[in-house]
């Protein structure tokens, strides 16, 4: 695997971003008293969704606002994107890399056009089998980028990676020599390099 040490994390002021425009401008419109918490495996297996949830410290912010209306939340150190507006399950994913793209992992896409045949087969079991398959699928994470220019979500696979790297032939050659090029950690490393360019 490639061994570049690349950091391209930008600073986002602490607060709640209620639109993608606010996020791009780095101007959160709300500073609710919130904390971000990693969800338990059992909660994810039972209810689906992404790895982090927002909690209103004094319970004054409605759950609907936390789940649906906040597009992104920054702690000042880390940025979390809400999967729901992008049809990537409820709750939040932590941004791994930031530059031209936001890079993150999230649950199975809710948009059928983004789902692979394997995903659809996993969701098509009967009630009991479906529960077991559903819990397993709920825990599975997929790699995505959010294009800042277009506010468009793209699920990453080797085909997409090849397309993204075409502009950098030397980097593409290195990627093609990777033994684990289909693995998310490898793909993340190359996306970090792209974000740093």
Domain boundaries, the chain: 15-155
Two structure tokens written together for 95: 């941004």
Find where tokens 């606010």 sit: 22
Q: What is the pLDDT of residues 122-173, one digit of tens each?
A: 555 444 444 555 677 788 999 999 999 999 999 999 999 999 999 999 999 9
Pairing outcome for strands 52-56 and 34-38: antiparallel
pLDDT of residue 134: 64
pLDDT of residue 125: 47
Stretches in the chain below the pLDDT threshold 50: 1-8, 125-130
pLDDT of residue 133: 58
């Amino acid at each position: 695997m490639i061994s570049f040490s690349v950091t391209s994390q930008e600073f986002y002021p602490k607060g709640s971003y209620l639109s993608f425009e606010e996020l791009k401008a780095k101007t959160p419109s709300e500073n609710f008293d919130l904390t971000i918490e990693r969800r338990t495996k059992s909660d994810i297996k039972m209810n689906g969704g992404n790895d982090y949830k927002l909690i209103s410290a004094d319970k004054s912010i409605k759950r609907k606002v936390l789940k649906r209306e906040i597009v992104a939340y920054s702690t000042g150190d880390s940025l979390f994107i809400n999967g729901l507006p992008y049809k990537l399950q409820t709750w939040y994913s932590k941004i791994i890399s930031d530059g031209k793209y936001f890079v993150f992992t999230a649950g199975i896409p809710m948009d059928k056009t983004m789902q692979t045949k394997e995903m659809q087969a996993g969701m098509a079991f009967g009630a009991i089998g479906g529960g077991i398959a559903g819990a397993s699928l709920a825990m599975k994470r997929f790699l995505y980028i959010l294009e800042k220019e277009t506010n468009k979500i793209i699920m990453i696979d080797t085909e997409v990676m090849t397309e993204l790297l075409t502009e950098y032939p030397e980097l593409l050659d290195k990627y093609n020599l990777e033994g684990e090029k289909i693995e998310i950690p490898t793909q993340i490393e190359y996306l970090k390099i792209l974000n740093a360019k």
